[in-house]
Copies of this chain bind each other. A is one copy, B any other.
Amino acid sequence: MRVGILTGGGDCPGLNAVIRAVVRKAERHYGYQVIGFLDGWRGVVEDDWVGLNVESCRGLLPKGGTVLGTSRHTPFNLDNGMARAGDTMHKHDLDALIAIGGEGTLSCASEVSELGFNVIGVPKTIDNDVGCTERTFGFDTAVAVATEAIDRLHTTAESHARVMFVEVMGRNVGHIAIWAGIAGGATYTLVPEEPFDLDELCAALLRRKARGRYASIVVVAEGARPQPGTLEIAEPPVDAYGHKRLGGIASVIAQEVEQRTNLETRVTILGHVQRGGSPTPFDRVLATRFGVAAIDAAHAKQFGQMVALRGGQIELVALKDATANLKPVNSEMLEVAHAFFA
């Protein structure tokens, strides 16, 4: 059997661990050959690839990012993409293609699967928003980075009696914000799932101040938005130089809070450090389990499926189901977070 593998979308700690696991079990256990396509689907369309074996994957487990490179290209946004991708599959005589990625990459995998490709999906995203799986790798690492930052900000907040706003990733869902907020002991956390009420936030911060000398930490998912009518937001916020890459909603909120409450505020936008670096042990294990399960699924010809963590076990779910909807933060987690709001 010959198997291709690709990594698509934003990079994420654990991608290399999946690649290594696929290659290891493919070569040593099944005797299969694996090739890696460069820069996600682009490599398939343009037949750009490298050979992979146990030896070339040595040392990959703890290494962040992806040695295969990644991009947001798909067969559907490249010229004549499907045909060329098909040619590549044919040329290399590939029996299966393992696609590791988030919502975009997996939706594409689902579509090409329905068009007849033998695809297996592996969910990755630091946002943890892929459906049908309790966890994606990369999320635990992102939460760890955000929590460490919050831990650090506590002491500086307290020394100066300030309100520190921390903006974390999460355009559509607030998993990172809620987890890091709970783990970091945040005073308040704003997520896309719950449009916020600025008056309530200000009141909470003032209540807290009234109780003593304490500083506050407010965690803000970059996709958090106010309840209609409570705060005018120039949408989307842009930075001083005209590009909107970095989010910035936390800065808008901080400035408004400072004006309304007279509390001193500071803003930290964590940015790309959340998606880089060596994966946590949890993410290394999850990525490795996903990789092993993906090549097992290829061996069992379970195409059109995605590996998933459910009830602590690795299972297969239909790619179509997994990509139907983003997975929001559930009500239990929101309520736990609320219990600690000032």
State whether the Cβ of A28 lies closer than 8 Å to any Cβ in chain B: yes
Inter-subunit contact B272/A134 (CB<8 Å)? no
Q: Which residues of B contact A237 (CB under 8 A)?
A: 240-241
Chain B residue nearest to A54 in the complex (CB): B211
State whether the Cβ of A325 lies closer than 8 Å to any Cβ in chain B: no
How does the 8 Å CB contact mask read for A1-24 relative to B, with 1 for contact and 0 for none? 000000100010101000001001
Inter-subunit contact B179/A281 (CB<8 Å)? yes
Inter-subunit contact B155/A64 (CB<8 Å)? yes
Inter-subunit contact B284/A183 (CB<8 Å)? yes
Q: Which residues of B contact A134 (CB under 8 A)?
A: 311-312
State whether the Cβ of A153 lies closer than 8 Å to any Cβ in chain B: yes
How does the 8 Å CB contact mask read for A180-194 relative to B, with 1 for contact and 0 for none? 101111000000000
CA of A63 to CA of B242 in the docked complex: distance in angstroms? 39
Chain B residue nearest to A11 in the complex (CB): B159
Inter-subunit contact A152/B241 (CB<8 Å)? no
Chain B residue nearest to A146 in the complex (CB): B281
Interface size class of A (residues with CB under 8 A): 35 or more
Chain B residue nearest to A279 in the complex (CB): B183
State whether the Cβ of A204 lies closer than 8 Å to any Cβ in chain B: no
Q: Which residues of B contact A332 (CB under 8 A)?
A: 289, 313-314
CB distance from A43 to the nearest CB of B (A): 13
CA of A282 to CA of B135 in the docked complex: distance in angstroms? 12
CA of A63 to CA of B62 in the docked complex: distance in angstroms? 12
State whether the Cβ of A90 lies closer than 8 Å to any Cβ in chain B: no
Inter-subunit contact A158/B65 (CB<8 Å)? yes
Inter-subunit contact B143/A281 (CB<8 Å)? yes
State whether the Cβ of A255 lies closer than 8 Å to any Cβ in chain B: yes
State whether the Cβ of A82 lies closer than 8 Å to any Cβ in chain B: no
CA of A251 to CA of B140 in the docked complex: distance in angstroms? 29
Question: Which residues from 144 to 159 on chain A have a C-beta closer than 8 Å to any C-beta of chain B?
Answer: 144-145, 147-149, 151-159
Having A13-B155, A66-B159, one finds 9 other A-B pairs with CB under 8 Å, namely A15-B159, A24-B339, A69-B213, A71-B160, A149-B273, A239-B248, A241-B248, A289-B332, A310-B311
Q: What residues of chain A have their CB less than 8 Å away from a CB belonging to chain B? A: 7, 11, 13, 15, 21, 24-25, 28-29, 61-66, 69-71, 134-135, 140, 143-145, 147-149, 151-161, 164, 179-180, 182-185, 213, 234, 237-243, 245-246, 248, 251-252, 255, 266-269, 271-273, 275-277, 280-282, 284-285, 288-289, 292, 310-314, 330, 332-333, 335-336, 339-340
